[in-house]
Amino acid sequence: MNNSQLKARMPSFFNLIRNAKIKILYLSDKQYSPWMLRISMLLAAVSILMLLFWPKFMMSANGVVDHGYLTLVMLANSAGFIHGIGYKPETFIWRVVFTPIFSWPILSYFFISTLNL
């Protein structure tokens, strides 16, 4: 096998990126089931209510707030609300960010760490 045949068989880096982008767009274009929308809305609503009425959930024992973690939780809340109402952004990066793949693990970790399970 000569060099040109080998290059033809090996996908380039840009083709790999393009294929990954197409797969992510396919996943984000799929119609989510109603129970997934309800779970996203429920997780986001409960976590916002916890932060609004009991802000001590985000404080450590000495009263310090981890702002990086709080930023992630708030971004996951936004993603939960956006997905929960069924909105699908047009831009690729926002489709990736506002999916339950991003928000559910962060909000689940927030609940587990808050409730000390």
| Cα distances (Å, whole numbers) of residue 96 to 60, 83, 90, 100, 103 | 31, 11, 11, 9, 11
pLDDT at residue 11 greater than cutoff 60: no
- Domain residue ranges in the chain: 13-115
Q: What is the pLDDT of residues 25-81, one digit of tens each?
A: 555 556 677 888 899 999 999 999 988 898 877 777 787 888 888 899 999 999 999
pLDDT of residue 44: 94
Has this prediction a pTM greater than 0.75?
no
